[in-house]
Structure 1
Amino acid sequence: MAQRRTPFGDRVRYWFDSTLARGAAALVGWMALLCLAVVVPASVVLVWTDPDVSASLTDRLAEVWHLTGETLRLGGVTGTPLRVVMSVLLALVTLLYVSTLVGLITTALTERLTALRRGRSTVLEHGHAVVLGWSEQVFTVVSELVAANANQRRAAVAVLADRDKTLMEEALSTKVGATGRTRLICRSGPTTDPAVLPLTSPATAGVVLVLPHDQPDADAEVVKTLLALRAALAGERSRPPVVAAVRDDRYRLAARLAAGPGGIVLESDTVTARLIVQAARRPGLSLVHQELLDFAGDEFYLITEPALIGRPFGDALLSYPTSSVVGMVRGGTPLLNPPSATPIAPDDLLVVISRDDDTAWLDDCAELVEEAAMASGPPTPARAERVLLLGWNRRAPLIVDQLRRRARPGSAVDVVADQGEATTRQVNEADADSGTGLSLTLHHGDVTRPETLRRLDVYSYDSVIVLGRDPVPGQPPEDPDNRTLVTLLLLRQLEEAAGRELPVVTELIDDRNRPLAPIAPGADVIISGKLIGLLMAQISQNRHLAAVFAELFSADGTGVRMRPATDYVLPGRETSFATVVAAARHRGECAIGYRSHADSSTSPGHGVRINPPKDERHHWTAEDEVVVIGKD
């Protein structure tokens, strides 16, 4: 068989590529030939078309050489061969020097720009916030810090994570949006390396926040980051306050020790479990928590009020027209909803809910109280509850424990989860600790299959809690939410078929999936990472609020509750909110808002009104609820 002849063009291209492969000398030679191939013919055309040039061939060739030399910076000197050679030599030396200098400058600039793109330069800021770590919480934390710094002239947030700087900046720009006066600075590097942490200048920072990532070893990573931070700040006279979060209670003590005396460590799983249970018992409570924790609305402040010193705490409840007093901080210890007769001491700080720290002003609101509209009957008694738990994850045992703590005799929790040894063992362990007030039953089944849910009498339960699986290493973080969304879609189908709404509480991992959830408007959705991010942002602005939040979200302490409005005011009456505050004071509680049943389907508040003015009037119905700070 005859050998196929290689095309001439391919052979030329191959020969050309082979010469280039010989190195820089071949490349320089080809560039010189290419330049001469263009410059010499062009110079000839210019000379032969110039009427002012002598007609002599020698003169014209000399002029061609002169134009070529000027174009290629070769001097272009004419005369004896020695002069021409020396001229070319000097031109080549000049060209070598200039090109080398340009190359050095270009290389230095390229290295500098590359270092800047990699985020390896040191942040020179004072009083800025440092965020160490990367997870879904980072967007919530940064957004809240931007909102808190809205009235600051110069504010900065430095984020350090073991990710590409450009990718971090793009993600923050997309999810956080406009930052106003706050500058976002991203630096790239491992947060567990003490040599890398100085890039964010933690010694001059106003606060340092340590975020857990989404992998199973997140808590160990947080502890290592805190240890690295302590090593990086060794020898510094002052250290910034540190706020960190861990998922497992087993790492909380280690994280506290690593954070130092002034460090604050939150336990995210326990807080999330408590909020899920609270929302399951009182639908709509997650909306109240969202309103209290973000910087967009009213939030907690600590203020001093000399005019109230010596007066009983109950007088303070009706002393602020546009703020809600909920407790005191005495000697660093929060006293939420103390007895009305408790005197206010000179060193006490009042805990108030207000629009801003300068919107709490004194004025007597007692004249707004309408005692004739106040309810006088006993409060609505608590009763046994039945809870359906769809799905199982690492927070499920904590949820069962929270349900057990306040369960009335006869209460029951039915768990529907995939059959597995780990799940069965955890449910059995939770059942062994459940005591006599709560019965726990495990039903094996896939909560993403319609037949599993159809076998359940879902409307016989007081609340339905939907949990996603724990993220698997190497699995996208949104995968657990995918199963949750499928379960919610099936529950929605049951609601439409029956024409009734189910009291569903949903736990999601990614806040971006919240608009996708097929649930009723105003339903309770707990975004675990977002809630912890909101808490961390609040505490970063006022570390004294850590004790307040610890009390609010404790298992058996004083917390946010929602009660039937008929416990406080007569239904069918229109009264001021000051009347509700006075009625709650008689019951040993602090009223901070209400939820209107008529507006429960209207966004964005879904009927929740936190810290309304004392003179605001509302027509109360039997379906309305009052938001109070108190105990069960």
Structure 2
Amino acid sequence: MKITSTNGNASRLNNDNKRLEYICSYIRYKFDNLFAHGLIFIIPLLTIISVFIILIFSIIYYYTKGVSNYKDALWETFTRILDPCAAAHDEGLKHRVISGIVILCGLVIIAILIGAIVTFMEEKLNELKKGRTTVIEKNHTIILGWSPKIFDIINELIIANENQRNPSIVILTSKDNSEVKYMIKDKINNSRNTRIIYRNGDPMSINDLNKLSLNQARSIIILAPKLNNPDVRIIKTILAIRNNPRRNKINFHIVAEIKERINLEAAIIAGGDEALFVYANEIIARIIAQSCRQRGLSVILSSLLSFQGDEIYFKHESALVGRTFYDAVFSYDKCSVIGLMLSDGTVKIFPRLNTIINIGDQIIVIAEDDHKIILSSDYLSRINYEYSGSKSSLLFNHNTVLLSNPVTRRATKIIERNLLLGWNKKAPLIARELDTYVARGSELHILTNSNIITQFINEQLVNELTEQKTFVHSGSFTNKLDLEKLNLFSYDYVILLANEESEQQNLIEEADAECLICLLYLKDIIDKSNNERTFSIIAEMYDIRNCQLANRTCADDFIVSPNLISKYISQLSENKNIKKVYDVLLTADGSEIYLCLASMFVPLETPISYYQILQETLKYQYLAIGYRLMKYLHDETRFFGIVLNPDKQEQIIFSKNDKIIILAENFMSFTPLISSQADKPTHEMKEIRPEPGSIYMLRLSTPEAFGIFESDEPEISSFASCASSSSTESSAKSSASPTKPKKKQYYKRPCILYPKDTRVLATNYS
């Protein structure tokens, strides 16, 4: 029985211990939960405990210490909790023990409070470092995602924001915030007046996007990450932005990068009218195709795309409503008018000179900044008298004659032989783009050591090219022997493409190093050759710093793909209409940028104002936007001699080989037709056959040569009667049979044949 009783007591004791342990665990659990809520729950709890302690011990003080009233007892208890020194004058063991207990309680409460505050502050700092707080900004630019292009984009936006008030850039990326901040500060030394705000999160998450004040943003840039199939993430991010339940009714301004053309249609559907997409490979392919034909074009485009210097702007100019485009061109001293955006959103680059500017139309100008687009103080007198369109007959002096029937201008394509060194995703796009510029029978030679690429060229690319024949050569452009086998001097243009696999694997330096090696080999081959024939070299690179290493090589131009695309994205984020302008400038259809010899329009070694240059180029339906001085060809500090949008009152002295930068739909470069002083030409001459219905301007110069024109049109017979009195012999020949067409007409002065605008001439000679 005793054993049974002992076992029962032990079991009961064990149960009591378990119950006590459970109660302690429960209290501890609740206490942990309470503290887990943070400072917002700890402060009220400590306040309640403090009040309870003060009330209890104030009663003890009131009855034991003999204070005069209860209020004094409350105050003495409160001061001892906050300040232990208040008990220094207590006498007697009883009073000191009570004060000691109060002081210990106060120390515990204050310690807990301080610890809670410190923990709260640490949590807030960590939260700020991680970038999880909500952004409260207005008129800011948001960048979603991460790629190496982000540094150039931020640099461009900083420059664009210089005249803005309190501008900001918000970056949301899944990368660690401290790492992002370190990399950006390492690449960008001075953010000037722009604040850069970092946030951590997933661009595809609606919850993370809600922290960025999307509704108040000026623009949203979405960068393609370095992942497989990044376009899927881009499209999903756009859907998260547009379908956000918190969005306002305003339209977003989204600019997104697309890597694969096959995904472009899906992206356009997802983005609707709120998103613009940059297909980088196609843009770079167009720039390369144009740059290899126009040396210096890449520098011009890079300058126009950058906010550093002169760029393209749109402006409503009410003072020019009712005026012609010709008038607008001469209305600004420090801006270059290049086109119009009509009220319906249509962009016309270099429209007809007699195009009327209507209400709602915007002029498109190249200017240093938007606040510098100001009409000249004397623009009315200038366009009404000095450069009046009504006086444009002065453009044609007494040595000018005219063929009367109008037709659209056209440029003659020529047969070319081009070489493509290397291969990447841009290569087939470049080949197709070149196909729009060359004549049938041209050749495109490709150097590659990949059997897969060779198979693609022979089975697919050949069928897509209508004007060019393709030839594949096996080899590597980093092997000098392979380059020497190509007979380089037989080509018109050589295009060097960087290895795209290196870009995807973040081996940009390796890809650029391979290009540098190839350029060194090409330079050595050229230097050691006695061949007088030259060819143009255009090289693609990934890092703009490596172009400085290549300045001493033989390359005529460098295309830094990421840098150009970053600038283009930045421009679109500031003004989405810019895309319409570059869609015209970077295609074979419509107006393009050309560099032509200054001697075609103006005298050399003679000071001439830019107003006069502008006037001279307009005579031939070309619009000057700048010039290039070849003496600064290798001077990077002077933008390699290129000057865009010069002050029109500036006096310029051109030398041989200097260029004028023009806009033209089809640039036709003609040279004077020179022969002996005999009645009939004996030297080799270029015959130009005006087509039926065409209009041309004949500009006569010195009496050392003949111009030959061949046509079956009746108007040709009366053409000579318009010539100056110095061409009496020619006039006599033509006037003898004014209605009967003559097969050939000779004029005893050299001439240049230029296409002219139909309506302008009709106005001038009506």
TM-score, normalised via structure 2 length: 0.67
Shift in CA distance, 475/615, structure 1 to aligned 2, threshold 3 Å: closer
The answer to whether 1:361 aligns with 2:379 is no
Residue aligned with 1:439, SS: strand
Moved more, 244-253 or 127-136: 244-253
Equivalent residue for 1:626, pick from 660, 670, 677: 660
* Structure 1 contact 595–626 (Cα < 8 Å) conserved: yes
Residue aligned with 1:252, SS: helix
Moved more, 287-296 or 209-218: 209-218
Counterpart in 2 of 1:446?
A: 476
For 1:596, the aligned partner's letter is L
* Structure 1 contact 212–219 (Cα < 8 Å) conserved: yes
* Structure 1 contact 521–603 (Cα < 8 Å) conserved: no
**Aligned-pair RMSD on alpha carbons?**
3.3
Q: What residue ranges of structure 1 are gaps of 5+ in the alignment?
A: 1-71
Whole-angstrom distance in 1 between the partners of 2:608 and 2:397:
7
Counterpart in 2 of 1:176?
A: 188
Per-residue deviation, 1:81: 9.8
The answer to whether 1:463 aligns with 2:510 is no
* Structure 2 contact 493–537 (Cα < 8 Å) conserved: yes
Alignment of 1:161-560 (within 5 A): 161-232=173-244, 234-330=246-342, 331-359=344-372, 360-362=374-376, 363=379, 364=382, 367=386, 383-426=414-457, 428-435=459-466, 437-471=467-501, 474-498=505-529, 503-517=536-550, 519-520=552-553, 523-560=556-593
Counterpart in 2 of 1:596?
A: 629
Whole-angstrom distance in 2 between the partners of 1:565 and 1:583:
10
Higher relative contact order (CA 8 A, sep 6+): 1
Whole-angstrom distance in 1 between the partners of 2:236 and 2:280:
18
The answer to whether 1:606 aligns with 2:640 is yes
Shift in CA distance, 579/323, structure 1 to aligned 2, threshold 3 Å: same
Count of aligned pairs? 561
Q: Deviations over 1:548-595 (max 9, x none)?
A: 222222342322222233433345554322233223223222210111
Shift in CA distance, 241/281, structure 1 to aligned 2, threshold 3 Å: same
Identity within the alignment, %? 28
Whole-angstrom distance in 1 between the partners of 2:214 and 2:199:
13
For 1:336, the aligned partner's letter is I
Counterpart in 1 of 2:119?
A: 107
Shift in CA distance, 134/411, structure 1 to aligned 2, threshold 3 Å: same
Report the structure number with the largest CA radius of gyration: 2
Counterpart in 1 of 2:598?
A: 565
The answer to whether 1:587 aligns with 2:620 is yes
For 2:495, the aligned partner's letter is I
* Structure 1 contact 447–487 (Cα < 8 Å) conserved: yes
Whole-angstrom distance in 1 between the partners of 2:398 and 2:329:
16
Moved more, 274-283 or 615-624: 615-624
Residue aligned with 1:613, SS: coil
Per-residue deviation, 1:468: 1.4
Moved more, 341-350 or 566-575: 566-575
* Structure 1 contact 329–350 (Cα < 8 Å) conserved: yes
Whole-angstrom distance in 2 between the partners of 1:374 and 1:92:
111
Residue aligned with 2:277, SS: strand
Whole-angstrom distance in 1 between the partners of 2:607 and 2:195:
48
Counterpart in 2 of 1:28?
A: none
* Structure 2 contact 522–554 (Cα < 8 Å) conserved: no
Whole-angstrom distance in 2 between the partners of 1:214 and 1:111:
32
Alignment of 1:47-126 (within 5 A): 93-126=105-138
Shift in CA distance, 262/95, structure 1 to aligned 2, threshold 3 Å: same
Per-residue deviation, 1:519: 4.5
Counterpart in 2 of 1:140?
A: 152
Counterpart in 2 of 1:156?
A: 168
Whole-angstrom distance in 2 between the partners of 1:354 and 1:206:
22
For 1:538, the aligned partner's letter is Q
Whole-angstrom distance in 1 between the partners of 2:477 and 2:254:
41
Whole-angstrom distance in 2 between the partners of 1:198 and 1:420:
50
Residue aligned with 2:519, SS: helix
Residue aligned with 2:371, SS: coil
* Structure 1 contact 522–600 (Cα < 8 Å) conserved: no
Moved more, 361-370 or 137-146: 361-370
Per-residue deviation, 1:156: 0.5
Moved more, 194-203 or 121-130: 194-203
Counterpart in 2 of 1:36?
A: none
Residue aligned with 1:123, SS: coil
Per-residue deviation, 1:249: 2.1
* Structure 2 contact 523–554 (Cα < 8 Å) conserved: no
* Structure 2 contact 444–468 (Cα < 8 Å) conserved: yes
For 2:658, the aligned partner's letter is D
* Structure 1 contact 468–484 (Cα < 8 Å) conserved: yes
Moved more, 441-450 or 314-323: 314-323
Moved more, 131-140 or 449-458: 449-458
* Structure 2 contact 415–439 (Cα < 8 Å) conserved: yes
Residue aligned with 1:261, SS: helix
Moved more, 130-139 or 92-101: 92-101
Per-residue deviation, 1:271: 0.8
Whole-angstrom distance in 1 between the partners of 2:157 and 2:558:
23
Whole-angstrom distance in 2 between the partners of 1:105 and 1:374:
91
Whole-angstrom distance in 2 between the partners of 1:570 and 1:446:
47
Q: Deviations over 1:397-423 (max 9, x none)?
A: 000000011112342221111223145
Whole-angstrom distance in 2 between the partners of 1:498 and 1:137:
40
Counterpart in 1 of 2:761?
A: none
Whole-angstrom distance in 1 between the partners of 2:125 and 2:284:
43
Whole-angstrom distance in 2 between the partners of 1:601 and 1:150:
30
For 1:608, the aligned partner's letter is I
For 1:452, the aligned partner's letter is D
Equivalent residue for 1:577, pick from 610, 621, 639: 610
For 2:443, the aligned partner's letter is A
Residue aligned with 2:472, SS: strand
Q: What residue ranges of structure 2 are gaps of 5+ in the alignment?
A: 1-83, 402-408, 667-766
* Structure 1 contact 284–522 (Cα < 8 Å) conserved: no
Residue aligned with 1:260, SS: helix
Residue aligned with 1:441, SS: strand
Shift in CA distance, 583/555, structure 1 to aligned 2, threshold 3 Å: same
Shift in CA distance, 92/221, structure 1 to aligned 2, threshold 3 Å: same
